[in-house]
Structure 1
Amino acid sequence: MVSTKHFVHDPDKLVASAISAIPIANPSLAVDVENKIIYRKVAESEKVSVISGGGAGHEPSFASYVGKGILNAAVSGSIFASPSSSQILTALTSKVASNKGILQVIMNYTGDALNFGLGSEKAKAAGKQVETVIVGDDVGVGRQKSGKVGRRGIAGTVLVHKIVGAAADSGFTLKQCRDLAQLVARNIVSVGCSLSHVHVPGSEPVTETLEEDQIEIGMGIHNEQGSERVKTPDLPLLVEKLLKQLLDPNDKDRAFLGQLRPEDEWVLLLNNLGGVSPLEMGAILNEVVSALGSNYSIKPKRVYSGTFMTSLNGLGFSISLLRIEAIPFKSDTSFIDLLDYPHETIGWTGPQARFWDTTSTQNNFSTEAVAAERIEASGLNFNKTAFKESVSAGLQAVISAEAQITKYDDVVGDGDCGTTFKRGAEAVLSFLQDDRLPDDPVVAMTEIANTVEKAMGGTSGAIFSIFLTGFAEGLREIQPGAGKSVGMKEWCDAASYALKTLYSYTPARPGDRTLVDAFHPFIDTVSQTGDVQDAAKKAMQGAESTATMAAKLGRSTYVRDLENTPDPGAVGVATFFEGFAKTF
């Protein structure tokens, strides 16, 4: 049974308090609690800045790797949810030096890719030079199953952070840092296993759990399923199975490193997912190193064992192997040189030099983020009373359906979809009830988009914010603007424009088992017929049809048995449309 006992049960307070503690342990750092950004007080303007981030719950990743020699800043989301693009934009534009450019190194999760991508695009528009490298090192789910999504990013990502952070600090250019990060990422393979799921504070208990005598091979760091669930083997057999997934060149679904060469040299990182005792970690390390030597003639040049990237208090571990390659554009520098490079962080447990700068009190660069874009009024007007009534009805429906959506997500995701939708719905409902809705529909939709992004975070927050921002732009396209009242045709045209905007940022299409399976039929039907109630029925039918679809995107991709469970995000969208339609 998964324990639901915690010392702090409010997830938002927990994350805020935890990141506030980072500068206590490392006085060279500062924290922007509102935007969940941890950053160095002193910026070195003549060096490339490296930033990373992702959902909370994986500590010490990423906040505890901020410090001289590794990361310049890290941006945290809520637990298991990516940070928003506005948080990331703040980090890019006001928390790190950008004279020599900024490199983002993130893990391969949809929300991270969307939000860091959107943040970088906005930063580029503001004149910043930003490059992004996405790391996917997990072999727990092979090529065939991962499909469009690709490999997940897990603990091997911190090796990229350490190496590229050292390179940036030692004077590599932005292009060299990017190319190095890509080279390292291509040569890392990782796999994990776990004896149990974990419980997110503030959420409902996980209903789908492992049996007492089972172990999940390849479990992801958000409770995602891996390659198989087996009877718990003896440690030597378990390690043998994991190493075979990492190194077997004949496993075409997982041979991401290709053929192994006798002259290959390696780095080993053994990672505690949070809940394994140091005593057991010692036994596991001994077995892994022994098996590498006896079965593969591998004697690692460097061995790192400890807690590098957790899944809260996950009762499991992961093994990462990095094949050492020459750096083509820096023949006088090696992976090992950069791994041994001194740093000032509290998260990396390798050799480290600590020279805390306790005298600095502020950055030596601008603390002003790029000002929020002024939203230019369109001159359009709309029926605010009807808008508030319909949207509020849809939001209330989503709030009421939280438990059902969460139940679905417990099976096919990480269990937070219902609470995430509810959080977004409550934030917009509060916005509407506080009579803050602007008179201009373009300004109104833009402010709702910002409200949603800030409240929801993660993949859902990014998707809905992109959609609603596209909706606002679609309204702005209406000609002539001044004094024109927005009616059904204009709303439909704007919705179609918004869907096209969303499609430019995600490969998801109808049939991929995503919330698009609810969005598309609603917008298509209402645009053709104007019948909102029929469109809502089509949206729910689309959502329900996802129960029999194979997942091609998102975390459901990694789940072996979806148990005829519909996509939670699609159900959430369709539920909104059902409530919305009842007012027509």
Structure 2
Amino acid sequence: MKKLINSPEQVVPDALRGMAAAHPDLRVDHENRVVLRASGAVEGKVGLVSGGGSGHEPMHGGFVGHGMLDAACAGEVFTSPTPDQMQAATLAVSGGAGVLHIVKNYTGDVMNFEMAAELAAAEGDVEVRSVVVDDDVAVQDSLYTAGRRGVGATVLLEKIVGAAAEERRDLAACEELAKKVNGNARSMGMALTSCVVPAAGVPTFELGDDEFELGIGIHGEPGRERRRLGPLREVAEQLVEPVLQDLPAADGAPVVAFVNSMGGTPLIELYGLYAEVAAICEKAGVSIARSLVGPYITSLEMAGASVTLLRADDDLLSLWDAPVSTPGLRWGM
């Protein structure tokens, strides 16, 4: 294993120290491993809290800032944060309008966020609501979940609901909006290689030189099946067609198309994949209104990619276009 680390135990604390040093508009609660806006809670604004295991950067800490999250909890690599971390984050961002938890559908995340909501309500009299993201069409259940996994749609949801919170939409409206985004988004991922969790020191799984794993999750877990690697257009079809088949019909509504690197796949390959995705969508009569291409929800150094399509009406597109200023996503500021 070759990694730029001091030790497996120090990976997350060292990364958080680096975030604090690199981004003065953020504040890091090192005791609880929570990334926060330096400006603190905003009176009258719904606070948005997310989090999960580390190793998916820039998600979630890199999406803290204007137009997205108010706080993000960092667990150990591929391990859920604790309820205490989530409670600390919730209380820190409460500005009197309630707090919305954005939770990827992994068993530990769901359970710990539920416990944190109960603790925050009891200690700080904070109204907390939660939305669980479960957009992955690859598998119904996995090693980490009961039901579909939460993957690429998490990024789109945090951006769109973050913009709504900046507009001072109330807690119920933000919750319904988050459910709407989740209900209209579908994702599928693939891997060319495994990743190496620092504490393990060995790849999570092995692939032959001519193989890829279809339907992987974001924790390095294997996917739906192993297939022979062919031309990019064939791989794109295997990713996009299941997404289109599962995507809710919306009377010709366009989509936001998100092509994501799992960490080790470079932009030259991602843009090639996006070209194929766009061609498949055009052939299917699905118009793309907005796009996002890059490494936004990763799995350490895994080589691979995922495709997310979100059916988007005018309100969702307007919120997508709204200004955002975070380490991981920035425009319009």
State TM-score, norm by structure 2. 0.95
RMSD of aligned Cα (Å): 1.8
Following superposition, the deviation at residue 98 of structure 1 comes to: 3.4
Q: Does 1:100 align with 2:86?
A: no
Judge conservation of contact 1:273–1:309 (CA < 8 Å) in 2.
yes
Please tell me whether the aligned partners of residues 11 and 78 of structure 1 are also in contact (alpha carbons under 8 angstroms): no
Residue type of the partner of 1:298? V
* In structure 1, distance between residues paired with 2:49 and 2:250: 33
Contact kept, 8 Å, 1:140 with 1:219, in 2: the verdict is: yes
Equivalent position amino acid for 2:68 in 1: I
Partner of 2:324: 343
Q: CA–CA distance in 1 between the matches of 2:276 and 2:31? A: 44
Give the corresponding residue for 1:277. 266
2-structure distance, mates of 1:56, 1:9? 16
Q: Which of these residues, 308, 312, 317, is aligned with residue 320 of structure 1?
A: 308
SS at match of 2:43: coil
8 Å Cα contact 1:9-1:202 kept in structure 2 = no
Amino acid at match of 1:271: N
Conserved 8 A contact 1:190-1:319? yes
Q: 1:19/1:193 Cα in 2 relative to 1: closer, same or farther (>3 Å)?
A: same
Find the aligned partners of 2:289 and 2:260 in 1 and give their Cα distance: 17
- TM-aligned CA distance change 1:147 to 1:310, over 3 Å: closer
Equivalent in the alignment of 2:181: 184
Aligned-partner Cα distance in 1 for 2:94–2:308: 31
C-alpha deviation, 1:204, in angstroms: 3.7
Is contact 1:218-1:226 (8 Å) kept? Answer: yes
Give the structure with the larger helix fraction: 1
Q: Which residue in the other structure is 1:118 paired with?
A: 115
Partners of 1:291 and 1:207 in 2: how far apart?
32
CA spacing shift, 1:83–1:178, aligned 2, 3 Å = same
Q: Does 1:299 align with 2:283?
A: no
Paired residue secondary structure (2:324):
coil
Shift of 1:201: 1.1
Contact 2:53–2:74 (CA under 8 A) maintained in structure 1:
yes
- State the secondary structure of the residue aligned to 1:308: coil
Identity rate of aligned residues, in percent?
Answer: 36
SS in 2 for 1:105: strand
Within 5 A, what are the aligned runs for 1:358-437? none
SS in 2 for 1:301: strand
CA distance in 2, matches of 1:155, 1:262: 23
Q: Distance in 1 between matches of 2:14 and 2:234?
A: 41
State the alpha-carbon separation in 2 of the partners of residues 88 and 148 from structure 1. Answer: 20
Partner of 1:51: 49
CA distance in 2, matches of 1:168, 1:178: 10
Q: Which one-letter code corresponds to 2:209 in the other structure?
A: E
Q: 2:89 corresponds to which residue? A: 91
Q: In the alignment, what sits opposite 2:127?
A: 129
Choose between structure 1 and 2: higher strand proportion: 2
1:160 to 157, 160, 166: 157
**How many residue pairs align between the two structures?**
331
How has the CA–CA distance of structure 1 residues 299 and 38 changed in structure 2, closer, same or farther, with 3 Å as cutoff?
A: same
CA deviations over 1:487-540 (Å, ceiling 9, x no partner): xxxxxxxxxxxxxxxxxxxxxxxxxxxxxxxxxxxxxxxxxxxxxxxxxxxxxx
Gaps of 5+ in 1: 249-254, 327-333, 354-584
Structure 1 residue 6 corresponds to structure 2 residue 9: no
Following superposition, which runs of at least 4 residues in structure 1 exceed 4 angstroms of deviation?
145-148
8 Å Cα contact 2:46-2:95 kept in structure 1: yes
Contact 1:26 1:345 in 2 (8 A): no
Query: Is the counterpart of residue 268 in structure 1 residue 257 in structure 2?
Result: yes
**SS state at 2:151 partner:** coil
| Mapped partners of 2:86, 2:287: distance in 1 | 40
Structure 2: runs of 5+ lacking an equivalent: none
CA contact 1:70–1:166 (8 Å) conserved in 2? yes
Distance 1:213 1:87, change over 3 A: same
Distance 1:262 1:45 in 2: 39
Question: Which structure would you say has the larger RCO, counting Cα contacts within 8 Å and 6 or more residues apart?
Answer: 2
